[in-house]
Amino acid sequence: MTAPSPLGPGPLGPVGERVPDVERIAVLRANALGDFIFILPALEAVRAAYPAAEIMLLGAPWHAKFWRDRPGPVDRVLVVPPAPGIRVPDPGEPESSLADFLAAARAERFDLALQLHGGGANSNPIVAGLGARVTAGLRAEDAPPLDRWLRYVYYQHEVIRYLEAVALVGAAATTITPALDPTDTDRAEARAVLGPAERPRVALHPGATDSRRRWPAERFAAVARALAGDGYEVLVTGTPVEQEVVDEVVAAAGVPVRPQVGTLGLGALAACYADCALVVSNDSGPLHLAGAVGAPTVGIYWIGNMINGATPLRGRHRPIASWTTHCPVCGVDCTPGIYPHRPGDGDCPHRDSFVTDVPVVEVVEAARELLAG
């Protein structure tokens, strides 16, 4: 690890020297919703350390849409072209050149460029190519170095990982809790779709991009029955690609629930969750969004993902862990990819759920406890 001499101890450890005369900062983080929620505390730390600087997120098209005219730690978004290890193209997105992007980005004359996009094998060359006076961020063994870098170690909570990274440039943590406030526009859009709540609402989100993180639909349906029986209005949220699993939950619930698939934009979904008494979800972007807008949550996690992503707070949140480490189809131990000196083979092609050992009763008990509180 290389870093300047520290200014002194911060809330999470040593804090490096600030870069002088910083007017413009680039931050690379071009992946999905949950991944972005994790860096909000790091962005707040950068804003506090460099209050006069313009912070530009090098992100995906959805970032540009979401952060347009939205208050927060991002001043502007530059959309990074699709590239291996950075992001996949959106459907119908025109081709664009990474070389052309870097040439245009260098014209911004960044003073500081931060790599908050993982281990750096693909992302560090992009950050280095921005032409900033100082680069900083994370570095795995297969990644080229930056001016200031911290070793990337897989099992670490994502929020803390990126707070440590920005501390390299003097940005001490101001919070460890991601927070996002829905705007008046977000709330108006949610009201237009959902109407006024006649009963307290709870939301269930049964989808997840990685099928190994999906709790069975019939178990979400059982939770829907229990909470509807307790007098709550139950929403079942999902993206258009999650239509099938939402339909399964609705059909199996056997009680009136309100499916919301593609009816709420991201801002309206944030407002919807902010007004819910509880959100129950797989480990997914919507779960982390719900926590960021202040909703109590029950999250269903595979144990490895719980280490990296579950909030350590318990006043309003109940992450429930599955302890499955062997593939339920072939029995392969799926941890040696991280711990290569242990017996077994971490390479497994199956994508069956790793969280089916979480019983319904645990989720319902956690939900009722939070709702009672």
Residues 184-221 have pLDDT tens digits of: 999 999 999 999 999 999 999 999 999 999 999 999 99
- Predicted confidence at residue 5, as pLDDT, reads 55
Convert the pLDDT of each residue in 285-339 to its tens digit.
999 999 999 999 999 999 999 999 999 999 999 999 999 999 999 998 888 778 8
Does residue 29 contact residue 41 with C-beta atoms inside 8 Å?
Answer: no
> Residue 45 has which token pair?
């730390």
Task: Judge whether 344 and 369 are in contact, CB under 8 Å.
Answer: no
- pLDDT, mean of residues 274-282: 98
pLDDT above 70 covers a percentage of the chain that reads 97
pLDDT level of residue 347 (50, 70, 90 thresholds): confident
What's the confidence (pLDDT) of residue 11? Answer: 86
pLDDT for 225-239, tens place per residue? 999 999 999 999 999
**Residue 9: per-residue pLDDT:** 77
User: Which residues, including other chains, have CB under 8 Å from residue 315's CB and lie 6 or more apart?
Assistant: none
Q: For residue 6, what pLDDT is reported?
A: 58
Q: How far apart are CA 40 and CA 163, in angstroms?
A: 9
* Beta-sheet pairing, 278-282 with 201-205: parallel
Rounded CA-CA distance 51/35 in Å is: 24
What is the model's pLDDT at position 339? 81
Instruction: Tell me: pLDDT of 340 over 90.
Output: no
Q: What is the pLDDT of residues 84-127, one digit of tens each?
A: 999 999 999 998 999 999 999 999 999 999 999 999 999 999 99
Q: What angle in degrees, to the nearest 10, is found between the helix axes of 266-274 and 184-194?
A: 80
Give pLDDT, residue 296: 98
Task: List all residues 6 or more positions away from 20 whose beta carbon is below 8 Å from its beta carbon.
Answer: none
Predicted local distance difference test score (pLDDT) of residue 218: 98
pLDDT of 341: 83
Is pLDDT of 35 > 80?
A: yes
Query: Comparing C-alpha atoms, which of 81, 128, 130, 124 is closest to residue 110?
Result: 130
Task: Give me the pLDDT at residue 1, please.
Answer: 47
Q: What is the dihedral of CA 65, 239, 42, 98, to 10 degrees?
A: -60
Which pLDDT score, from 0 to 100, does residue 106 have? 97
Cα–Cα distance, 262 to 218 (Å, whole number)? 21
In terms of phi and psi (left: phi > 0; alpha: psi -120 to 50; beta: otherwise), the region of 119 is alpha
- Burial class (CB within 10 angstroms; exposed 0-12, middle 13-18, buried 19+) of 113: buried
pLDDT tier at 7, thresholds 50, 70, 90: low
